[in-house]
Amino acid sequence: SARAEEARPGYHFAPARNWNNDPNGLVYYEGEYHLFYQYNPYGDRWGHMSWGHAVSRDLVTWQELPVAIPETDVQAFSGGVVVDWNNTSGFGKDGRPPLVALFTGHNTKTRIQSQYLAYSNDKGRTWTTHGKVLDIGSTEFRDPKIFWHEATKRWVMLTVIAAENRVLVWTSGDLKSWTMASSFGPTGARGKNWECPDIFELPIEGGKPGEKRWVLAISLGDSSVNGGSGMQYFVGDFDGQRFTLDPSWTGDPQWLDWGADYYAAVTYNDLPKSDPRKIAIGWANNWRYANLIPTYPNRGLMSLPRSLSLHKTSEGYRLYQAPVAEAEALRRDHSSAEGLKLGEASQPLPVKGGRAELVIDLDTGSSQQVEIAIKDAQGYQTLVGVTAPTGEVYVDRTRSGPSFHEGFPDRHIAPVDLKGRKVKLHLFVDESIIELYVNDGARTITDRFFRGGGELSWSVSARGGEATIETLNAWTLSDPRKK
C-alpha cells in the first residue's frame, strides 16, 4: 500500500522486503561493518529464520547482500560473529583469519535448540556450516554471543536458557569445544523469556582514572517497563568465567530504553583498535505486535547504531546511549533559534517532512507540560513531551495512526532528572520511528509510530505556564537509500 511505503524509514536499516527481527553477528572486518539479522526470505511474518546480511562503511549507509546463512533442517536463530585472528578454529585460509559465526539451530520438528558453527573466508559473503558444536537437549537454549576475552586468552560465549531467565557463560580455546563456566539469574526483571544476552566492559565516566566495569545486557520478551519486550542491564565484574553484580546494585531493574520498540540489541565485535567505542544496534520492534505492524513491503527495522557509555551517578552506575557521531553526515538544511518563549498557542518548528533531527535545550519554566506535536494530514499525531512537576519525559502514540493492535496506542514515560527545570532533548524522526535521547542519553525512548497519510508537520506548545527553548538546532536528514 502507498501509505505504508510513504511511512518507510530512510536512514534506519531494514531489508528491502520481508520480515526481519534481531540484529546478529555484528562485526567489523576490513573496513566493513557487518549487520546480519534474523530474516524470513519468503514472507513478511516471522518464519523460515535465516541470517540476512547488510554491510556499511560508515554505519549509516547500508547495502543489503544475499542471505548469508539459510534455513536448512534447522532454522538459523540469533547468534554472534567474531574474527578469528589467530585461526584458533583452523578455518582460516591462505593466511587470512576466518569470520566465525555461532548461531542457534532451531529444529522445527523436535524444537531442540543447539549451537551451530559456520565460517566465512570471503568477508562474510558466503558461509560454510561446520555443524552442531553444543547441544544440551534443551528447547530453550539460544542466542550465543561470542567474543575474545583478552585477560584469559579464551573465547567466551553467552547463551540463555530463555524460560528459566538464566544466562550461561561458556569458554573455549577453538570456538568448537565449549566448557560451561557459570550461570547467572534469575534476578532483576523476570518474564516469560530472557533472550539475546551480551556482555562488555566500559570505562567509568566520572570514576577514578582507569576504573572500568562490565555491563550484562539482557532482552526480556515480555513484562518490560513500558509493555511487552524490552531490555535490562546489570553492572558488575567479569573475570572471563563469571559475572558478579556490583555491590552498589539495589535489586531494581535497570531499563535500557523506555519506549516499546528497542529489543535484542547487541554490540559490535572487532572494531578497529583506534576506535574505543562500544556500538550497539537494536531491533526497533516489540514481540507483542511485531507480526502486525502496518508496514510494506518489509516488516521490521533496526535502530540507529548507538554508542554506549557508563556513568557514575548518585544512584549507581548507569548506562548512557548516544547516536553514533557518523549520523551527523545525514544533516541537511540547518536551522536554529534561541530564547523561544512557549505558551498555549502552538508554534511551528522549523522542520519539514518525516526525516529530522532536533536538539533542544529546554527550560520548562513555570509550565506543567511542554509538548512537541508531529501531525499528519489526517489528524493522527505523535507527541513528545516533558512534564516538569513529576520529572517525566514521554512519547505519546495513543493517536499515532489507524489501529492494528491494542498494545500499540500508549504513552511511554521515562523518569528524568530535570536539573532545576532544565532538560536536553535530542530527537531523531525517520518517517515512522522516533528515537529520543534525553540529557545526553541518560534516558532513551524508542518508538515506532504510524500515520494516515500526507506530510508531517511539527509544532510545539506549553501548558500551565511559560517555558523557554533556550537553544534549538534542527536539521532535515537525508535518505541514504536515495543517493
Among 8, 19, 23, 38, binds ligand FRU (CB under 6 A): 38
User: Hey, what amino acid is at 451?
Assistant: R
CB of 21 to ligand FRU, least distance (A): 5
By CB under 6 A, tell whether 22 contacts ligand FRU: yes
> Residue 430 is placed in which grid cell?
525517520
**From 22, 257, 376, 410, the catalytic residue:** 22
By CB under 6 A, tell whether 21 contacts ligand FRU: yes
Binding mask 85-114 for ligand FRU (x = CB under 6 A): -------------------x----------
226 versus 286: smaller Cβ distance to ligand FRU: 286
Distance in angstroms (rounded) separating the CA atoms of residues 200 and 242: 13
> Residue 294 is placed in which grid cell?
502496518
CB of 22 to ligand FRU, least distance (A): 5
In this structure, the dihedral spanned by the alpha carbons of residues 262, 60, 158 and 115, taken in order and rounded to 10 degrees, is 100
Binding mask 172-211 for ligand FRU (x = CB under 6 A): -----------------------xx---------------
78 versus 226: smaller Cβ distance to ligand FRU: 78
Laid out side by side, the sheet with 50-56 consists of 62-69, 50-56, 32-40, 18-29, 298-299
Tally the C-alpha atoms within 13 A of residue 166's C-alpha that lie toward its C-beta.
12
77 versus 148: smaller Cβ distance to ligand FRU: 77
Beta-bridge partner residues of 24: 36
CB of 1 to ligand FRU, least distance (A): 26
Q: Is 22 a catalytic residue?
A: yes
Backbone CA torsion sign across 143, 144, 146, 152: positive
User: Phi and psi (nearest 5°) for 90?
Assistant: 80, 5
Q: Are 87 and 97 in contact (CB under 8 A)?
A: yes
By CB under 6 A, tell whether 161 contacts ligand FRU: no
80 versus 354: smaller Cβ distance to ligand FRU: 80
Residues 6+ apart with CB under 8 A from 143: 77, 78, 79, 104, 158, 159, 160, 162, 195, 196, 197
CB of 38 to ligand FRU, least distance (A): 4
Cell 489507524, located at residue: 402
Q: What is the largest CA-CA distance in the chain?
A: 70
Among 78, 89, 232, 369, binds ligand FRU (CB under 6 A): 78
Interface size with ligand FRU, residues (CB under 6 A): 12
CB of 193 to ligand FRU, least distance (A): 7
Residue 305 DSSP label:
P
Element (H, E) at 456: none
Cell 539475546, located at residue: 196
Among 220, 264, 358, 467, binds ligand FRU (CB under 6 A): 264
By CB under 6 A, tell whether 49 contacts ligand FRU: yes
Peptide bond into 203 cis (omega under 30): no
Among 11, 37, 62, 77, binds ligand FRU (CB under 6 A): 77
Residue 4 DSSP label:
H
* Cα-Cα end-to-end distance for the chain: 24
113 versus 295: smaller Cβ distance to ligand FRU: 113
CB of 118 to ligand FRU, least distance (A): 15
Beta-bridge partner residues of 179: 171
Binding mask 126-145 for ligand FRU (x = CB under 6 A): ----------------xx--
Residues annotated as part of the active site: 22
Chain contacts with ligand FRU (rule: CB under 6 A) = 21-22, 38, 49, 77-78, 104, 142-143, 195-196, 264
